[in-house]
Amino acid sequence: MSAFGAGRLHVCRFYGSWDLNQMISENAATLFRSIRKLSSKDAKNTTKEWDDLTFQFGPRAFLYADKDRIIGFAATPIEAERLVTQFGKKYRMPIPPASDGGVFYLIQQEGDNIKTKEVSLSSDTVLKPEALALHYGSGGGEWHRSFVEKLCRRPNGLSIFEGKPGTGKTFYLRHLMGELKESHRFYFIPTAAMGILSKPDFIGFWTDQRWHHSNKKFVVILEDSDAALMTRGSDNREQVSALLNLSDGMLADFLRLQIICTINCSAADIDPALLRPGRLLCHRVFGRLDYAQAARLAGSLGRKLPQAHDYSLAEVFAGQDTDEINRPRIGFAA
C-alpha cells in the first residue's frame, strides 16, 4: 500500500494449485515478504512449508502467492494480468489423473483460514444398480433413485442417515459421491472439527466456494454427528443453530447447501426443529440385513455365511459370524 499510495492500483486473481517451492527457487531475489510454517511431532524431523509469499518486480508490480491462489498488483490492469498469467503457466501444480470413483473435499481450518483438501475414491466404491439391492435390500435401488432426484431438484435441505456402525451409511455415501461427481461437489467435515459450523468465517468460505464453482451443487457430509443434532443444550447450542440456518431460511437460500448427517443414535433424540417438514429432505434408517439378504450378498462375493438371524454389511464383508464380531467398533470394512 505504501508503494501505491493514492495512485492507480489494479488487482488480478487466479485460483488453482501452485508450486511455492519452485517459485522461491527461481525468484529468490525478488521475494519481498514471506510466511513459513514449521510443523513436527518429532524434533528431529521438522518439516518446513511456505505459506504466504509476496514478490516485488518493480516499484509498482507485486505478486502474492499461496497454495490456492496468485494475485497480481500493478499500476495497470494489463500488467496485473500479465504477472498472474506468467506465474500461473509456469508454477501451476500438475493436475492428478481423474479418478474413476468419486471425489470429496476435506474441510480443514488452519489458523484463521478455512481450506479444503481433495480426496479421490477408487472405482470400486461406485456400485452398479443391481449391487445396490444386494447391499441395501430389495427397496434399496428405488430409494436411491428417489433420493438422487431430490438432491438434484432441491437447492438446500437436511438429510439424516440413521443406523448402527457397520450398516453401510459411509459405504453408500462413497457410492453417491461417485455417481454425482459431475453435477455435485461433496465436502466432508470431520467430527473433531464440527465446531467450524458456528464460526463467522464459515459463511465467507462458502461464499468463496460458490463463486468459484457456480456450476455445481454443494453437499456437506457430517459423519457421526449425533452431538451436533441432539436437542439443544449448553454444549451444542451453536452447532444446532448453525445447522438450522444452513439448511433452511434466507441464509440457506443464498448458500444453497445440501447437508447429509450420519448418526448412530435414534432420530427421536434429535432436536425437533431439525426435523421440521420443508427442512428435512430425507430420513433413512440403515438396518441390518436378514440372513437371506446377507447370504445373497455374500454369495456375490464368493463367500458363504454361517446361519444367523441377521448381519450388518461390515459382518458380511468381514466374512465372520456375528458372535465373533458383534462388538463396538468404528466404521466398517469395505
Residues 258 and 304 occupy one common structural domain: no
Is 231 a member of any domain? yes
Is 4 a member of any domain? no
The span from the CA of 186 to the CA of 174, in Å, is: 10
**Residue 86 grid cell:** 506468467
**Residue 302 grid cell:** 464368493
Residues 156 and 276 occupy one common structural domain: yes
- pTM score, two decimals? 0.68
- The predicted-structure confidence for 151-205, as pLDDT tens digits, reads as follows 999 888 889 999 998 999 999 999 999 999 999 999 998 877 877 777 778 888 8
| pLDDT of 332 | 39
Is 96 a member of any domain? no
Residues 135 and 175 occupy one common structural domain: yes
Phi-psi region of 56 (alpha: psi -120 to 50; beta: other; left: phi over 0): beta
The span from the CA of 146 to the CA of 226, in Å, is: 25
The span from the CA of 152 to the CA of 144, in Å, is: 12
- The predicted-structure confidence for 290-333, as pLDDT tens digits, reads as follows 999 999 999 988 888 898 888 999 999 886 544 444 444 444 33
Residues 79 and 110 occupy one common structural domain: no
Is 34 a member of any domain? yes
Is 124 a member of any domain? yes
Kindly report the CATH number assigned to the domain that includes residue 171: 3.40.50.300
